Structure 1
């Protein structure tokens, strides 16, 4: 399926069949998320992959009982780092030096710039920035799933504080941001399965400046 056809095919699936997404498809979706764009390449978030049915049932209870949580093959939780620290920057610089075969001294300016950015903002401002980075990855995951003909539903309808407590995310230095279910549409139960996609006309959507 080409990209535009895949994007026309996808929608925020409301009901799923429970069929398991093949591991090779899941791996490609996760790898696309890992390779997603991120400001300065920092990736200040984690992606938690949940397949266990019992755990997903508990998560459903703090996610407005949305059926996709338990009907999906896999649930992805995008969780931003909180707090952001200079130690995380140091780890990132080490990774760059290792992967590119350069000395840490060559990255000093970049390191100081990133640390200065984090230190100039409050912990909450840094979390909001990290959360926005995770949304970029969420979008990449949606596109990747569509190209694999895997249905996906992005979700904000959950109680982040309750989910953080359930999974012990604060102890891991994380705060949940958004969810993504992966699976296959139940066309008989989902009222949107055969609905025509509605998007604004390109003439109304794009603004061309001279």
Structure 2
């Protein structure tokens, strides 16, 4: 199927088949897709927590307004950002650039200095908002890849981040949860499964300047 057919196929699954599990290859595809997601300046201020543990999923469900998808999904993906973000991330990034591309320091220095100064002048609240925006890019990318790979998903903001951080020991890793994406396979009796997708006409959502 082409990409449009795949996007028409996908929907936010309301009921997963709890007996069906993603293969290791499918999970690895999602991990790679996450790692390849575009981020501002390529800094990748994101981490992905991959959960396949029914006891943990049950505990998280109670912190997600009891949405059953958390428990019934094959895996639960949690997109996280740093709790405290500093210009050290720029230093680490350019060290990686040099390692991979063997780019001379003097070539990288102007851009490195610019990014360092830009981050150091921002407040932590501004940096958190900036990094959250990157998390939404990653979520969109993961959802598209899921559609292409015929993996069902249900993007969620409806959870208690502070409690997730506690259960998953994220604070100790300087992380905070931002978005949740249960993934798996739709149940045969999911009431949304066969409903026609509702979208505005293209003329209402696209502005063309010719």
Deviations 1:64-121 (A, max 9, x none): 1111111111110001112111211111111111111112332111211111221121
Aligned residues: 209
Aligned to 2:193, the other structure's residue is in SS state coil
TM-score, scaled relative to structure 2: 0.96
- CA RMSD in angstroms comes to 1.1
- Residues 13, 185 of structure 1: 8 Å contact kept: yes
- Runs of 4+, deviation exceeding 4 Å: none
Q: CA deviation at 1:177?
A: 0.4
Matched residue, 2:141 = 140
Matched residue, 1:8 = 8
- Residues 11, 153 of structure 1: 8 Å contact kept: yes
Q: CA deviation at 1:209?
A: 2.5
Q: Distance in 1 between matches of 2:174 and 2:107?
A: 29
Moved more, 23-32 or 196-205: 23-32
Unaligned runs of 5+ in 2: none
Q: Distance in 2 between matches of 1:170 and 1:122?
A: 19
Question: Does residue 17 in structure 1 map to residue 17 in structure 2?
Answer: yes
Matched residue, 1:153 = 154
Unaligned runs of 5+ in 1: none
Q: Distance in 1 between matches of 2:84 and 2:105?
A: 24
Q: CA deviation at 1:169?
A: 1.3
Aligned to 2:150, the other structure's residue is in SS state coil
Deviations 1:142-161 (A, max 9, x none): 00011111101100000111
TM-score, scaled relative to structure 1: 0.96
Q: Distance in 2 between matches of 1:148 and 1:46?
A: 22
Matched residue, 2:53 = 52
Aligned to 2:134, the other structure's residue is in SS state helix
Q: Distance in 1 between matches of 2:71 and 2:27?
A: 17
Residues 1-210 of structure 1: pairs in structure 2 closer than 5 A? 1-18=1-18, 19-188=20-189, 190-210=190-210
Q: Distance in 2 between matches of 1:77 and 1:104?
A: 35
